[in-house]
Amino acid sequence: MAHYCVTKREALERALHEAQARILEGITNAEQERYFDPSPTLGELRSNDGDQPLQGNHALPPRGYPIEVKRLAVQMADAGKPSPEICEAILAAHGKTLGVSNLGRQVRRWRVALQDG
């Protein structure tokens, strides 16, 4: 009897991959594009009450922060503003903010993204 070293994670990943492959085989190219679209609308999502779609057809809000907020945070950091002040400015501009402890790392990422973009 052979013993195969397959972890549960590997088995689940394989099962998911095979299930996704079967789904993609049966749909058109346009449907595949919608399948991989990262921004579904509320009308495409199903509620917990059977097959009734959620009301409205509004796009879900994007995750993260708008480019203007990222630029503001980088400019403030470059000007030597303290982290709590930068977090307050992000909150005022966007309605949510990062934790002060995460701000330095995130501003470095945003700086690189702004330079590359």
Q: What is the DSSP letter of 59?
A: B
Look up residue 98 and give its amino acid: L
Residues 53 and 15 in one domain: yes
Give the Cα separation of 38 and 32 in Å (integer). 12
pLDDT score at 75? 95
Residues 54 and 72 in one domain: no
Residues 55 and 2 in one domain: yes
Residues 53 and 85 in one domain: no
**Among residues 10, 42, 59, which one ends one of the domains?**
59
The residue segments making up the domain with residue 111 are 67-116
Residues 29 and 52 in one domain: yes
Tens of pLDDT, residue by residue over 10-41, are: 888 888 888 888 887 888 877 777 777 666 55
Of 11, 93, 76, residue with least CA distance to 106: 76
**Among residues 43, 59, 75, which one ends one of the domains?**
59
Residues 53 and 90 in one domain: no
Of 110, 111, 101, residue with least CA distance to 64: 110
Structural domain count, the chain: 2
Give me 14's structure tokens: 């394989």
Residues 3 and 52 in one domain: yes
Give pLDDT < 70 ranges for the chain: 1-4, 37-62, 117
pLDDT score at 79? 96
Decide: pTM greater than 0.85: no
